[in-house]
Amino acid sequence: MIKLKFPLLLITGIAGFAMLQACSSGEKDTDERQPYTVSDSLFRTLSIDTVKQKIVTNAIKLNGMVDYNAEKTVTVFPLVTGNVQGVNIAVGDFVKAGQVLAVVKSAEVANFNAALVAAQATVRQTARQLAQQKDLYKSGLASEVDITNAETAYDQAVAAQVAAQKVLSINGNNRQGEYMIKAPVSGFIVQMNLASGMAIRSDNNTGLLTIADLNNVWVQANVYEQNISKVHQGDSVTVTTASYPDKIFNGRVDKLMDVLDANTKAMKMRIVLSNPDYLLKPQMFATVTLSDREKRQAPAISSKALVFDNSQYYVLVLKDKKDIQIRPVTLLSNNGQTAYIASGLQTGERVIASNVLLIYGSLNN
């Protein structure tokens, strides 16, 4: 039994030494781990931004709403009294100028035609009487006063006929007692108070329907007091909507109302936007963004280059594809497109501005 002690101790020592060597070798392998390298395929697709000194431009965001362009909106009022028949349109329909929208059976229009017929008969009668007076004057049986009176009666009859013809023409020249409601302009029916069978009156000041040209629209935005001094007529703006979050509409400030709304305590601002595809629809909510340029400069990079992690902003500074540094930065401001750096970057340095989360995660593994 005593003879076995030495070999057992020897074996245990050798095993321990081997384990230490293995651990040491593992630590050495860890220390010599190769740095992260961007693959050639990924590197070719990267967007690289160079740090430049730029004037600090902040974004002012305002809430607004899409509205009709009132200068290209027409309301149709009843011109005659009668009963509506044959309504041919509905809200949202596109109509062309001159298109018949509805027919009104009207005693007024029938009277207009009767007045014209009566005026025409009076013209014929006074014309005959004038001719008779001229013949009598030649025979010495009528005086010049008689001819003058006959001429006056004829002229008055002609004037009455012209007036009756114009009234009938204004009301559509219809001789069956019908009045055609026609579209005065091309556009969309945006409001309608018209239905078959309803009675309308010419003295009613309520519009029958409203037609709007939606090729361009207004955006009405609220400007609160702290931003009034930063907004000017003619300023460029961008507009986005919840319906098209990735679509940016560009426009300019068309008018500032220069008074505060009593309820919202805000100044109204109006923007005119081109709307050729009719994407913008009245009553849509909109976000209006303006640029506020300060009088100072700062290092600037694309906002896409920023990584926010653990309450700290970082950027990936590119030396080459084998040397990418994670560097903390302090922001001065960020307007959504450009980030202005207070500290952490120098002019001329290059930062990665695409796939930053992928590379940032790989560098941290």
| Cβ proximity of 313 and 328 under 8 Å | yes
Strand partners, 82: 200
Residue where a domain terminates, one of 127, 155, 176: 176
For the chain, the domain total comes to: 4
Do 204 and 252 share a domain, yes or no? no
Residue 182 lies in a domain: yes
Residue 251 lies in a domain: yes
Mean pLDDT of the chain: 85
pLDDT mean values, one per 10 residues, the chain (365 residues): 44 46 48 71 91 90 93 90 87 92 79 76 89 85 86 90 78 69 92 90 88 94 92 91 91 92 91 92 93 87 94 94 91 90 94 94 87
Residue where a domain terminates, one of 294, 329, 346: 294
Residue-number span of the structural domain to which 136 is assigned: 107-176
Mapping DSSP to helix (H, G, I), strand (E, B) and coil, where does residue 226 land? helix
Do 121 and 135 share a domain, yes or no? yes
Do 146 and 270 share a domain, yes or no? no
Residue 3 lies in a domain: no
CATH number at residue 331: 2.40.420.20
Do 154 and 250 share a domain, yes or no? no
Closest C-alpha among 260, 274, 337, 262 to residue 301: 337
Per residue in 69-81, pLDDT (tens digit) is: 999 999 999 888 8
Do 87 and 202 share a domain, yes or no? yes
CATH number at residue 134: 1.10.287
Do 100 and 181 share a domain, yes or no? yes
| Cβ proximity of 34 and 363 under 8 Å | no
Longest alpha-carbon distance in the chain: 180
pTM (two decimals):
0.61
CA distance 86 to 100: 10
Residue where a domain terminates, one of 120, 150, 176: 176
Residue 234 lies in a domain: yes
Q: Provide the pLDDT for residue 137.
A: 81
Alpha helix (H) residue ranges in 32-178: 40-45, 107-138, 144-170
